[in-house]
Amino acid sequence: MDAFVDIHDVTHIYAGAEDGAPAVEGMSIKVREGEFAAIVGPSGCGKSTVMKLATGLQFPNKGTVIVDGREVDAPVKIAGMAFQNPVMLPWRTTLKNLLLPLEIVQPHRSRLRAHRKEYEARAEALLAQVGLEGQGSKFPWQLSGGMQQRASLCRSLIHEPKLLMLDEPFAALDAFTREELWCIIRDLHAAKRFTVILVTHDLREAVFLADRVFCMSARPGRIIAEREIDLPRPRDLDVTYTQPFIDIVHELRGHIATAREAV
């Protein structure tokens, strides 16, 4: 298999870790280009650490991380990220928050000044796609939590990254908003076909969105199960009430339960 993200036998110990124990150990993940992967596992098992390794924010003590055919030895520059906390900059309007990645990433960085209108139109279009039409001039703190999270998703996609990293982005939202956002991210992925790695502790979310789900053990994190999700696309929210869907969720729950017992 030709992997877009290839994390091979990686062990990582944080420099600041008091006990010197690894956060992840002997960890391997392969994600194909354009694939939607989900990583599930108990909290503190090293899911966020995997994100940091894949984006070059941390470097492994052992093993290799290859993204887009190159070994990662610096921040990757092709990734968009969104977290549980939307981390919008409160002094910028929502639209200006969206433009932030373009002020950093080339070639946009040099083009931004001259093509400002064009980029602003792109940001507005993206806002409209996530149901935030015309909200660009508001400050983030004037938006609800769900709206901020939508804007945060837009910001992670504005520079059309080849790799989208989502670290529990829906965890703090109410159930209805969460399912709305599932559909939004599903449609964005279907339209643009970027590679996604979604970290979550919600098994239904993982099964609904992903092509492939990885289950991690408790700390030190390893992959204890990998499951291809062959439910046909496009998936509707109704699929979450069908038997095949429920069976997969049960199967994964079994893996997680064993992982927790092992502690």
Partner 1 sequence: MAARRSRISLILAPWVFTIGFFAIWEVVVRALGVSNFVLPAPSVIAEAIVQYRTQLLFHSYHTMWMTLAGFGLAVIFGLVLGMALGASQIVHAGAYPLLVGFNAIPKVAMVPILVIWFGVGWQAPVLTAFLISFFPIVVNVATGLATIEPETEDVLRALGASKRDIIFKVGIPRSMPYFFGSLKVAITLAYVGSVIAEYNASNVGVGNLMARASADFNVPLIWAALIALAVLGVMMYAATAYAERRMTGWAQRSQFAAQ
49 binds, among partner 1, Mg ion, ligand ADP, none (CB under 5 to 8 A by kind): ligand ADP
User: Do the beta carbons of residue 150 and residue 131 sit within 8 Å?
Assistant: yes
**Minimum Å distance from CB 188 to ligand ADP?**
23
Residues 34-53: x where in contact with Mg ion by CB under 5 A, - otherwise, as a string: --------------x-----
**Minimum Å distance from CB 97 to partner 1?**
11
43 binds, among partner 1, Mg ion, ligand ADP, none (CB under 5 to 8 A by kind): ligand ADP
Which residue do the tokens 């030190």 mark? 220
Sign of the dihedral defined by the CA atoms of residues 56, 27, 81, 189, in that order: positive
Cα distances from 231 to residues 171, 173, 199, 248, in angstroms, run 24, 25, 20, 10
Q: Which stretch binds partner 1 (CB under 8 A): 7-15, 35-43, 151-159, 255-263?
A: 151-159
Residue 195's beta-bridge partner residues? 163
107-132 in b/e form (b: 16+ CB < 10 A) is ebeeebeeeeeebbebbbebbebbeb
**Minimum Å distance from CB 66 to ligand ADP?**
20
User: Do the beta carbons of residue 165 and residue 81 sit within 8 Å?
Assistant: yes
Which residues sit at the interface with ligand ADP, rule CB under 6 A?
Answer: 14, 16-17, 23, 41, 43-49, 219
Which residues sit at the interface with Mg ion, rule CB under 5 A?
Answer: 48
Which residues sit at the interface with partner 1, rule CB under 8 A?
Answer: 52, 55-57, 74-77, 79-81, 83, 85, 87, 89-91, 100-101, 103-105, 139, 141, 155-156, 159, 165
